[in-house]
Structure 1
Amino acid sequence: MSKGFLALILHAHLPFVRHTDGEGKLAEDWLYEAITETYIPLLNIMERLHKKGVNFRLTLNISPSLASMLDDELLQKRYLNHLENLIELSEKEIERNSNTPRVKKLAEMYNYLFKEARYVFHEKYKNNILKGFKKFQELNRLEIITSAATHGYLPLILTEKAVNAQVATGINTYERIFGQKPKGFWLPECAFKPGIDAILADKGIRYFISSTHGILYATPRPRYGVYSPVYTPNGVAAFGRDVETSKQVWSANEGYPGDFDYREFYRDIGFDLDYDYIKKYLPDGIRKHVGIKYHRITGKSDYKELYDPDRAREKAAEHAANFIFNRQHQIKYLSQVMDRKPVVVAPYDAELFGHWWFEGPQWLEFLLEKIHYDQEDFTTITPSEYLDLYPRNQVAMPAESSWGYKGYHEVWLNGSNDWVYRHLHEAELKMITLADKYNHLEDKDNIFYRALNQMARELLLAQSSDWAFIIKTNTMVEYAIMRTKKHLFNFRKLSNQVEGKNLDKDFLSNLEKSNNIFPEIDFKIYNQNINKGWDLKEGISG
């Protein structure tokens, strides 16, 4: 009998990037890198573990914007072309390094990985890897949850109706793609403020994930800290992030990914090789990471030694064993002071595994296999399974919080990006006004109905938390500003045309083709009232 549980939760999200005008190739590469380096490796490890009979549980948030891109035929075709280019480049690298055996061996490794990705993506899942994740959900190995439509930062959205639109659109997208209702909800950036839970409850969501201090500073203070969920007064369970597991994996100084034997992310042939040789494989000819990296971290200096995959694999197995050792001691202690089995909640960005930390999928595979075969102190579990096991939990309201720097809203609201919000707030108020005014429309093919639906898409896309984050972190700032302004411009132009009853059909049609996210959207979602009369479910105790 296990003494407790580990809930591994991966958050897979990317902003919606789909350009029909040739712009944004560099940003589209975010998706292609993540598919090759994270999503396909995750599917492969689940396949191997399942065939071995390993009884594992994982929870995976696939954000609605990411799911929409993975489900898009244009982006699927572009990804295949991207893979073919990588395969060609890796074959050139094998030839170029024919006289340096160790580097040639690494080039052959990448060639194999790219060809494996092509097989899994194109032949196994017919260009749609969502089918793979859906398969493992049906096999009861994976619990897929959803998030806000475009990962909007919910506490900074002005009105309840606009928050509801983000939540409801995300849930509707999940239902369309996965054919069932989601049990859990990933709050974008784990950002919560009281009142959001009422909207989640209204939609039938059972639980969400909170930052550590969001639970620890809940009112009243939780008896079991983050090691058991609390129910909000509206009946939704909140699971708090565990500090220890976060530190072991995330910490820049103490976390596993910084080990000197692991692959060095920042040394990539997209920067290292002669420009004329590599430019064909760079989007718009701009130097970037192409995913072929020959060095290990080595140390904190610029000197880097060649990467040794066998040595790194051994280190991943060692780190998986260390993680289990620490969870055993943590859970043994917690089980002695709690009247129920504790749950250690370990949420991570999915892209850490494979993209940023090349050995991350290996570590995860070792971890899940060792948990199953090598110890009996704890097992993996999903949050909904824990709620099924322990339906009675303390009622407490989590504190306003996020998992960002300093724990609140500073990353998404500061001197670099605060100008965005007055425009976003003005747009959402206009959307609500027009949704109320045109609530009588019934014909969805009516051009005004279509225009209002596209306005809703443009507003949701402008609200993506990614743009404010990118502006703050000073990475692709020009692109983030362009996307924010472009969606707001589209929204305002459509709004003026609707109010002036003078619609530009070509302008609308072009937007519908390029920004085609959420085909099922209905602008009337901005006219919905929230059910405030949510009754606490039977079995919830104070």
Structure 2
Amino acid sequence: MAKGYLALVLHAHLPFVRHPEHSYSLEEKWYHEAVTETYIPLIWGLERLLNDGVPFKLTVSLSPTLLSMFGDPFLQHRYLQHLDRMLELADREVHRTRGTPYHETALMYHGRLHGARNSYAHRYGKNLILAFKKLFDTGRVELITSAATHGYLPFMMVHPAAVRAQIEIGVNTFRQCFDRDPAGLWLPECAYIAGLDEILREYNIRYFFTDTHGLLFASHRPRFGIFAPIYCPSGVAAFARDVESSKQVWSAKEGYPGDFDYREYYRDIGFDLDFEYVKPYIHPNGLRVHTGFKYYRITGTGNHKEPYVPKWARARVDEHAGNFIFNREHQVRYLSGVMDRPPLIVAPYDAELFGHWWFEGPEWLESIARKIAYDQDTVELTTPSEYLKCFPCNQVAVPCSSSWGNKGYHEVWLNHTNDWIYRHLHWAAEQMTALARDYPHADALERRALNQAARELLLAQASDWAFIMATDTMVEYAVRRTKTHLLNFKGLWHQVREQRIERHWLEELEDKNNIFPEIDYAVYAKSAK
């Protein structure tokens, strides 16, 4: 019997990026890259493990915005168009690199893209929900949900109805996709504040995750530190991130992804090659962008880069998987000697780290599963649900207010770059709640307008926009999305209140911002269960 457990947790999330008003969208490209580089390779790896009979466990959080994009016919069509462009480029790259040190890598990309298109269009029916559901049904992968649009929930607690809407719509979306209720919920940004668990309990959520200090600084010192969950007074369990296992993967200086033999993310032919050659595959206005064709390894800390050698990278994957497990074994052996139960190590990561940022990441995860199954007997993979089933008695305490953002609290999402958004978000949440209570029996057109107002509010509440503003990346886009959704909400609010709904404009919004087609604005009228 294993002396301890490891729960690998991947949080898969992207903001809702759907722009039918543009023939090419740089933001939709975020989604295309994540599907090609992260989600499909992850599914492939899990399928190989299942086909080989490897006993493994993995927890994956799929955000409702991501699920909505997976199932959207427009985005499915756009993704296939993207793949076809990349396949055309792959053919040209195989020809261009012949006789060079880059040819093997070009062939690798060519094969992966063909495999991705075949899997996506035929095996998965253009809908990755079906692929994840099949994995879920095996019992090896536990899927959980998140808040509807990844809203930063601690800042929304002044309007509990808005928090309930985020949670209920997240749970309903999960149920519609997978025909069952989620056992757990990923709090956006792992952001917790006292009282959130009470709302989670209303929707039969059994557990959530916090950052390390969320448990360490709980209202009562946790007896087992972060190596066992605690129960909130509501009965909902809180699991905390393990520092050591996170550092080995996340750290820019010490983490595995920085190994010199791994693929260099920032050297891409979209920037390196002649403009006329790459022109058909970059932004139509001539803006150079990443194409995904990257031929160099990290090499070192300087600008000089050597050609990427896939077999060298694969060797490092196995080495790093072995090192990760070696460290977990030592961790478990020590902890099992000072605990009266097998310790649990919780290792949560952003899913997009694997494949997109760390190209070899999905292979590393697969290697972890194989080595844990066959190369040792100290550590066993598990899920939070299984751990709670085996160890139902846990300490009761209230986690401290925290997040997994920089400095561990809420500063990333509330600072001088983004603080202006909250007075508008609070006003909109207050007005949406009032609308829901004032119009319990809306007619058909009013109902459509109220449902769309709810969508616009939810989209404005996405934590992604405040994060982008704080990190100074795509600031103009984040500001525009926030303002646009708030203005859309305000326009609908005026029209409903003044009984002058503009049907044509409403139809435009319904077509463009069509997330959560089954939404019911009445969720904002609900009080505590």
- TM-score by length of structure 2 reads 0.99
Equivalent residue letter for 2:510: E
Contact 1:17 1:24 in 2 (8 A): no
Contact 1:8 1:59 in 2 (8 A): yes
Which of 201-210 and 272-281 deviates more? 272-281
- Which residue number corresponds to residue 286 of structure 1? 287
- Which residue number corresponds to residue 75 of structure 2? 75
Map residues 250-269 of structure 1 onto 2, 5 A cutoff: 250-269=250-269
**C-alpha distance in structure 1 between counterparts of 2:469 and 2:276, whole Å:** 31
Equivalent residue letter for 2:347: A
**C-alpha distance in structure 1 between counterparts of 2:39 and 2:186, whole Å:** 18
**C-alpha distance in structure 1 between counterparts of 2:166 and 2:281, whole Å:** 37
- Which residue number corresponds to residue 540 of structure 1? none
**C-alpha distance in structure 2 between counterparts of 1:110 and 1:291, whole Å:** 9
Deviation at 1:224, TM superposition (A): 0.5
- Which residue number corresponds to residue 151 of structure 1? 150
- Which residue number corresponds to residue 60 of structure 2? 60
**C-alpha distance in structure 2 between counterparts of 1:223 and 1:153, whole Å:** 29
Map residues 6-25 of structure 1 onto 2, 5 A cutoff: 6-22=6-22, 25=25
Deviation at 1:275, TM superposition (A): 1.5
Cα deviation, 1:364-409, whole Å, max 9, x if unaligned, reads: 1111000001110011000000000011110000000000000011
- Which residue number corresponds to residue 440 of structure 2? 439
Within the candidate set 505, 511, 514, 1:513 is matched to 511
**C-alpha distance in structure 1 between counterparts of 2:340 and 2:24, whole Å:** 54
**C-alpha distance in structure 1 between counterparts of 2:27 and 2:238, whole Å:** 33
Q: Aligned pair 1:491/2:489, yes or no?
A: yes
Q: Aligned pair 1:207/2:207, yes or no?
A: yes
Cα deviation, 1:515-538, whole Å, max 9, x if unaligned, reads: 11011111110010113xxxxxxx
Count of residues in Structure 1 that have an aligned counterpart in Structure 2: 527
Cα deviation, 1:247-306, whole Å, max 9, x if unaligned, reads: 000001100000001000000111111112112111333211111100000000000000
**C-alpha distance in structure 1 between counterparts of 2:98 and 2:320, whole Å:** 34
Map residues 211-230 of structure 1 onto 2, 5 A cutoff: 211-230=211-230
Contact 1:242 1:345 in 2 (8 A): yes
Deviation at 1:98, TM superposition (A): 2.2
Cα deviation, 1:86-140, whole Å, max 9, x if unaligned, reads: 110011111122232x212211110101001001111111101111111111001
Equivalent residue letter for 1:404: G
- Which residue number corresponds to residue 379 of structure 1? 380
Which of 226-235 and 282-291 deviates more? 282-291
Q: Given the superposition, is the C-alpha separation of residues 522 and 420 from structure 1 closer, same or farther in structure 2, using an over 3 Å criterion?
A: same
Deviation at 1:362, TM superposition (A): 1.1
Within the candidate set 451, 454, 457, 2:452 is matched to 454
Equivalent residue letter for 2:409: Y
Contact 1:63 1:149 in 2 (8 A): yes
**C-alpha distance in structure 2 between counterparts of 1:317 and 1:480, whole Å:** 39
- Which residue number corresponds to residue 534 of structure 1? none
- Which residue number corresponds to residue 27 of structure 2? 27
Equivalent residue letter for 2:200: L
Equivalent residue letter for 1:121: Y
- Which residue number corresponds to residue 396 of structure 2? 395
Equivalent residue letter for 1:311: W
Equivalent residue letter for 1:212: T
- Which residue number corresponds to residue 536 of structure 1? none
Q: Given the superposition, is the C-alpha separation of residues 115 and 79 from structure 1 closer, same or farther in structure 2, using an over 3 Å criterion?
A: same
Residue 7 of structure 1: SS of its match in structure 2? Answer: strand
Equivalent residue letter for 2:394: N
- Which residue number corresponds to residue 123 of structure 1? 122
**C-alpha distance in structure 2 between counterparts of 1:12 and 1:90, whole Å:** 27
Contact 1:16 1:69 in 2 (8 A): yes
Contact 1:37 1:354 in 2 (8 A): yes
Deviation at 1:63, TM superposition (A): 0.2
**C-alpha distance in structure 1 between counterparts of 2:441 and 2:453, whole Å:** 17
- Which residue number corresponds to residue 346 of structure 1? 347
Show structure 1 runs of 5+ residues with no match.
Answer: 532-542
**C-alpha distance in structure 2 between counterparts of 1:185 and 1:349, whole Å:** 15
**C-alpha distance in structure 2 between counterparts of 1:315 and 1:90, whole Å:** 26
Deviation at 1:23, TM superposition (A): 6.9
**C-alpha distance in structure 2 between counterparts of 1:78 and 1:230, whole Å:** 44
- Which residue number corresponds to residue 132 of structure 2? 133
**C-alpha distance in structure 2 between counterparts of 1:94 and 1:461, whole Å:** 42
- Which residue number corresponds to residue 524 of structure 2? 526
- TM-score by length of structure 1 reads 0.96
- Which residue number corresponds to residue 304 of structure 2? 303
Deviation at 1:54, TM superposition (A): 0.4
Residue 289 of structure 2: SS of its match in structure 1? Answer: coil
**C-alpha distance in structure 1 between counterparts of 2:17 and 2:56, whole Å:** 33
Residue 146 of structure 1: SS of its match in structure 2? Answer: strand
- Which residue number corresponds to residue 180 of structure 2? 180
- Which residue number corresponds to residue 191 of structure 1? 191
Q: Percent identity?
A: 57
Deviation at 1:447, TM superposition (A): 0.4
Equivalent residue letter for 1:467: W
**C-alpha distance in structure 2 between counterparts of 1:163 and 1:282, whole Å:** 40
Deviation at 1:24, TM superposition (A): 6.8
Cα deviation, 1:466-505, whole Å, max 9, x if unaligned, reads: 0010111111111111100110010000000001000000
**C-alpha distance in structure 2 between counterparts of 1:82 and 1:8, whole Å:** 31
**C-alpha distance in structure 2 between counterparts of 1:24 and 1:178, whole Å:** 31
Deviation at 1:336, TM superposition (A): 1.0
**C-alpha distance in structure 1 between counterparts of 2:234 and 2:124, whole Å:** 40
Contact 1:10 1:60 in 2 (8 A): yes
Which of 68-77 and 21-30 deviates more? 21-30
- Which residue number corresponds to residue 321 of structure 2? 320
Contact 1:13 1:63 in 2 (8 A): yes
Show structure 2 runs of 5+ residues with no match.
Answer: none
Cα deviation, 1:412-438, whole Å, max 9, x if unaligned, reads: 100011001011011001101111100
- Which residue number corresponds to residue 359 of structure 2? 358
